[in-house]
Amino acid sequence: MEHTTFSKLIAGVMTWGSWGKNLNTSDMENLIQVCLENGLSSFDHADIYGGYSTESAFGTALKQSGIDRKKIQLITKCGIQYQCENRPNQIKHYDYSKDYIIWSVETSLKNLQTDYLDLLLLHRPSPLMHPEEIAEAIHRLKTEGKILDFGVSNFTASQTDLIQSAIKVNYNQIQFSATHLQPMLDGSLDYMQTQNIRPMAWNPLGSVFKRDDLQAQRVLSVVNKLAVKYETAPDLILLSWILKHPAGILPVCGTANPKRIKQLIKATEIDLELQDWFSIWVESTGNKVP
């Protein structure tokens, strides 16, 4: 089966709402337009973002924008039952029952004011997952045209195999960056390549601009030098490092800054030289390659 086509960089909307910038409808509409005009046609949601409020805010802005639905791709996630004023949960937990998955998707469709999702992801793995029950829900949603494609998020290879015992998984959204190398070293990305599972990467800039530890300092130092060499910005070097991986990773970029969004797509034009790519890996680990 062919994968759904998404933009090479995906706009992550987690911080657009009350968990971040708290954009009003007009500002959110403008940001959607800026993304679309600058090569980011795919938008990554989760039902829990903003305490189950960001999807609805985005949907209102999308409707107001008048953008043709066929020109964008909408991704969302379900399964986390979050504790907030919008849900009567006594404890944060996961729910992957057939009825809940279907209800969650139908709720997301209403909030996003659309008839279908381009991709549904199971947000985080649960010890109580029944693959056959999940498959029943996904088959029904696909048959009814409510979702076009299916995947997981933050799943290990064995957890993905469990789901794939009942239904094909086409995507896995994982944490991956130049400062979070584990998926490249523990077999996760190898597994996805052999299984024809397309990886997406959340937090693709890692801790480089967030922490001032030795790893971040080392990586930032080499990235700054490469930014001068390639006549670009340091964050674009970090994105190009991910894009060079043969698994075809799709970075999910979480900025809500229009100026930065206008620059992001330039990362797809950077082809890091082999030794430059390895120089970032070496500085991340603090050691020569084995």
Q: How far is C-alpha 79 from the geometric centre of its chain's CA atoms? A: 16
For the chain, give percent helix, strand, coil, nearest 5.
Answer: 45, 15, 40
Q: From CA 33, how far away is CA 100, in angstroms rounded?
A: 33
SS3 11: strand
Q: Determine the pLDDT at residue 258.
A: 96
Closest to 253 in 3D by CA, of 70, 61, 39, 64 = 39
pLDDT digits (tens, 9 = 90+) for 220-251: 999 999 999 999 999 999 999 999 999 999 99
The DSSP line for 245-276 is STT--EEEE----HHHHHHHGGGGG----HHH
Q: What is the pTM of this model?
A: 0.97
Cβ–Cβ < 8 Å for 242, 251: yes
Q: Give me 274's structure tokens.
A: 């082999």
| pLDDT above 90 for 196 | yes
The question of whether 49 is a catalytic residue gets the answer yes
- Percent pLDDT > 90 in the chain is 96
Cβ–Cβ < 8 Å for 254, 213: no
Of 49, 96, 171, 230, the catalytic one is: 49
Domain locations in the chain? 10-212+235-266
Question: Could you say which of 3.30.420.10, 3.30.2130.10, 3.40.50.2300, 3.20.20.100 is the CATH number of the domain covering 10-212+235-266?
Answer: 3.20.20.100
Mean pLDDT on 161-172: 98
Cβ–Cβ < 8 Å for 151, 108: no
- Model confidence at 85, pLDDT cuts 50, 70, 90, reads confident
Q: What is the mean pLDDT of the chain?
A: 97
pLDDT digits (tens, 9 = 90+) for 260-289: 999 999 999 999 999 999 999 999 999 999
Q: Determine the pLDDT at residue 86.
A: 83
Please give the helix or strand (H or E) that residue 122 lies within, else none: strand 119-122
Q: Determine the pLDDT at residue 2.
A: 63
Q: Determine the pLDDT at residue 1.
A: 52
